[in-house]
Amino acid sequence: MSVVINFKSVIQGKNAEKLARLMESIDNNRLIAVVSPIDIYAVSRYAPSLTIWSQHIDTDSPYKPMTGNLNISTAIERGATGAIINHVEHPIGLNHIKSIVRYAPNNFDICVCANTLEHAQEILKECTPDYIAIEPPNLIGKNTSMDNETLESVISAIGHKTNILCGAGITSTMDVARATHLGANGVLVSSYIVNSKCFEASIRNLLVGLKQ
């Protein structure tokens, strides 16, 4: 069970280093930091035992120079052990998703974001990522998470195929407890943490939900 915290573009540079170090001091086993690619190296040095994922990644392109390409091999070299892709704020096509998932080595987790169960099923017909994060766009940044019926249908339909993260609108201990009780493998959260006035209290609040 994991609480995956997406720093977005809100927490970068020194602030990303500080938040990652705080996360490491709280729980370096169940917390995952999703940081800007430019922060991977610094964050991994400041919090060496914390799991670090990249915000987006691409396949390596050794035979075709690609400006702006984020190579998996470089991300691993700099300290990342995974990435989220196809976030609603950085969507990519199905062929791109498939190529990344198939290219990624076994020691590099790929979490593909999907906005509906149908979208997730479409992705899973083409490839099997390590995680699927279900994030209904209308709930992102809001104070309401997925209802039980929707989450249960997701878990029932695809929970046997890959790990499921419940995303969008996660703001409380009960949100986390409900998601994991229904069968999710964790939660993907951002706004609740990055906009918090007290990072530590907010993070601990979510972790309590993993224990219930």
- Catalytic residue numbers, as ranges: 87, 135
* Token representation of residue 129: 């990522």
The radius of gyration of the chain from alpha carbons, rounded to an integer in Å, stands at 16
DSSP string, 100-162: HHHHS-TTSEEEEEESSHHHHHHHHHH---SEEEE--GGGTTSS----HHHHHHHHHHHTTTS
Question: Which residues, including other chains, have CB under 8 Å from residue 57's CB and lie 6 or more apart?
Answer: 37, 70, 71, 72, 75, 80, 83, 85, 100, 104, 110
Question: Which residues, including other chains, have CB under 8 Å from residue 71's CB and lie 6 or more apart?
Answer: 57, 58, 59, 60, 61
Q: Give the Cβ contact number of residue 31 at 10 Å.
A: 22
